[in-house]
Amino acid sequence: MAHQWRGVIREYADRLPVTEATKVITLGEGGTPLVHARQLSELTGSEVYLKVEGMNPTGSFKDRGMTMAMTAAVEAGAKAVVCASTGNTSASAAAYATAAGLKCAVLVPEGKISMGKLSQAIAHGATLLQVDGNFDNCLDIARKLGESYPVFLVNSVNPARIQGQKTGAFEIVDSLGDAPDIHVLPVGNAGNISAYWKGYKEYSAPFETANGTLPAVATKTPIMWGFQAAGAAPFVAGHPITEPDTIATAIRIGNPASWDTAVAARDESGGLIEAVTDDEILAAHRWLSAKEGVFVEPGSAAGVAGLIKKHAAGEVPSGKTIVITVTGHGLKDPQWALRTEDGSDVQPVKVPNDVVTVAAELGLEEK
Ligand SMILES: *Cc1c(COP(=O)(O)O)cnc(C)c1O
């Protein structure tokens, strides 16, 4: 029977803090493809899948959390929401606030946000302020606004966001029939690694609900592998970084809000959080586009960069199932695709309006 995906809250209502009476704010998020990565599988000898989160309504996984956060905002009687953002949270908050009929204010770091994300926030009518500071400064201000002013904070420090984002783990288990052996993802503010770990844990044990106990769906939990950009790698340093720097703007964060839960995800799962350089991130970005057919933004490629790096070090087991979350769409930040490996820009070849010249340029000989 035909089935239209109803968004993560309705699909997983029995595992989320909602009731029948909850007025759900949704744009149909979740239900994203789990794509078999042929070339990464061949490279590693494991079955590697990509959870393609760029397919969410605003083009990133942030929508999974935002449906919950905006639903909670409406339930709380909020009239306005606020968030700090490296870009995707603002795009998502602006869209979901529009769906909820709420005002939305977003604080972004000056000059370090992609055009695609900026234009989404503007298109959806958010009030966008560029703060003279980095993401961590923006989040400080947003938290203080939420505490002392009549605005509802929708950053991932809001536990509703983590609740929504845990559904990514549910979908992966539902697709594969069990949890993968290893789950790989980029780490910035560290909400997502915390959310996936929460989701995997909840799916691998009986789950208490108001209406009774749900049985375990998965037989195990995966090992969590998180990757940060080398210039913004506080978990690798073991302390916050004051001047985070990377071309991967989505993970350009020096003082992650979900520090303790991310460390718990790493340690309880027997996993790791390591760093990849910007060059490794861009190489993985090219790998995904050119070899797998999946177009992501640079920050989203950090997990793939990590897997390739660990493979080169002989540290990726074969014969396992590995899932990598690729977090946001390539069209968010498309200029990186036009960069060649030597740093120059790709120029389209110009040809006259003439089939013979075009065929010659394509190296084709007449049949
Ligand atoms: C937000 C974001 C991240 C980082 O996720 P955290 O939960 O902050 O660790 C990675 N990639 C993209 C595309 C994002 O939008």
- pLDDT tens figures, 13-38: 999 999 999 999 999 999 999 999 99
Distance of CA 107 to the CA centre of its chain: 19
Q: What residue has token string 């966001």?
A: 161
First and final CA of the chain: distance in angstroms?
47
Burial class (CB in 10 A: 0-12, 13-18, 19+), 96: buried
At residue 99, what is the residue type? A
pLDDT band for position 180 (50/70/90)? very high
CB 105 within 8 A of CB 127: yes
Expressed in angstroms and rounded, the spacing between residue 2 Cα and the centre of ligand 1 is 33
Backbone angles phi, psi at 256, to 5 degrees: -60, 135
What integer best gives the mean pLDDT of the chain?
Answer: 96
Q: Is the pLDDT of residue 127 over 80?
A: yes
Q: According to the model, what pLDDT value does residue 200 have?
A: 98
Q: What is the model's pLDDT at position 1?
A: 66
Is ligand 1 within 6 A of the CB of residue 187? yes
- State both tokens at 250: 């989505």
The closest alpha carbon to 253, from 236, 241, 264, belongs to 241
Q: What are 42-80's pLDDT values in tens digits?
A: 999 999 999 999 999 999 999 999 999 999 999 999 999
Burial (Cβ within 10 Å: 0-12, 13-18, ≥19) of residue 124: buried
Per-residue pLDDT for 85 more than 80?
yes
Length of the chain equals 367
Indicate which atom in ligand 1 lies nearest the CA of residue 262: 9
The pLDDT > 90 percentage for the chain reads 91
Backbone angles phi, psi at 176, to 5 degrees: -85, -20
For ligand 1, say whether the CB of 64 is within 6 Å of any of its atoms. Answer: no
Regarding the beta carbon of 231 and ligand 1, being less than 6 Å apart is answered: no
- Ligand 1 center from residue 54 Cα (angstroms): 11
CA atoms within 13 A on the CB side of 113: 29
DSSP one-letter code for 245: -
Nearest-angstrom CA–CA distance, 186 and 182: 14
Give the single-character DSSP code of 190: S
Q: Is 183 helix (H, G, I), strand (E, B) or coil?
A: strand
Structure tokens at 129: 């302020």
Region 241-261 average pLDDT: 95
Q: Which of 49-53, 97-101, 109-113, 115-119 has the lowest mean pLDDT?
A: 109-113
CB atoms < 10 A from the CB of 142, how many? 25
Is ligand 1 within 6 A of the CB of residue 191? yes
Q: Residue type at 336?
A: W
47-52 and 321-326 beta bridge pairing: parallel
Picking from 255, 256, 194, 189, the residue whose alpha carbon sits closest to that of residue 224 is 194
Looking at residue 341, its pLDDT comes to: 73
Q: Which residues contact 1 (CB under 8 A, 6 or more apart)?
A: none
Give the burial class of 148: count Cβ atoms within 10 A of its Cβ; 0-12 exposed, 13-18 middle, 19 or more buried: exposed
Task: Please indicate whether residue 250, judged by its CB atom, sits closer than 6 Å to ligand 1.
Answer: yes
Query: b or e along 295-324 (b: 16 or more beta carbons within 10 Å of the residue's beta carbon)?
Result: bbbbbbbbbbbbbbbbbeeeebeeebbbbb
Question: What is the reported pLDDT for 343?
Answer: 75
Q: Note whether 41 and 330 are within 8 A (CB).
A: no
Say yes or no: CB of residue 257 within 6 Å of ligand 1. no
Helix axes 167-176, 191-203, angle to 10 degrees: 50
Most informative mutation of 154, 157, 192 for ligand 1 (most atoms within 8 A of CB) = 192
* pLDDT at 140 exceeding the cut of 90: yes
Residue 328 per-residue DSSP state: B
